[in-house]
Amino acid sequence: PDAIKRCGLYQGGNLVNKGGTRSLKGLKKTLFTKPAQWVFEMKITECTDDLFSIDFHYCPLVAAWQAQGATDEQMARLCDISMQGDRGIAKSFGCELELGQTIAQGYDKCEIRFKRLKS
C-alpha cells in the first residue's frame, strides 16, 4: 500500500503541475476527463476549488476481481489498497479523500469525495 500511495503522490504532483493549480477544478480537468468519466460511468455531483464529489457507477477493477473469483472480503481489501493511489493524489492537492459506499462493498456506486484540508 505504501508504494501505491507514493505512486499517487507522484501522479498527483504531475497533475498539479499540468493543471497549474491545486484547485480541485484542475483535478477534474486533468484526471477526470470525458473518456475517464465514460469508462467509470461517473456522475460529478459537485466541483469547486475545495470540494470534488464524484459517484462511480462502474469499476473495472471490481469486475476483474469478480471474474477471478475474489470473495467480498478480498474485494473490499483490494479496493482499499487500490484507493491508496487516489489518497496520494488527494494529498498532492492538499486534500483528503473520503470514501462513502463502494462497489467493492456491494453497493451500486462508489462515493468518492476530495475535500480540501482546513487550516
Q: What is the pLDDT of residues 7-49, one digit of tens each?
A: 999 999 999 999 999 999 999 999 988 998 999 999 999 999 9
119 pLDDT band (50/70/90 cuts)? low
CA 51 and chain centroid, separation: 13
User: What pTM was computed for the model?
Assistant: 0.89
pLDDT band at 117 (very low <50, low <70, confident <90, very high): confident
**How many beta carbons lie within 10 A of that of residue 96, not counting itself?**
14
Task: For residue 33, give the 3-state DSSP assignment.
Answer: coil
Smallest CA-to-CA distance from 87 within 1, 2, 5 is with 5
Region for residue 20 given its phi and psi (left: phi exceeds 0; alpha: psi -120 to 50; beta: otherwise): left
Q: Tens digits of per-residue pLDDT, 71-99?
A: 999 999 999 999 999 999 999 999 999 99
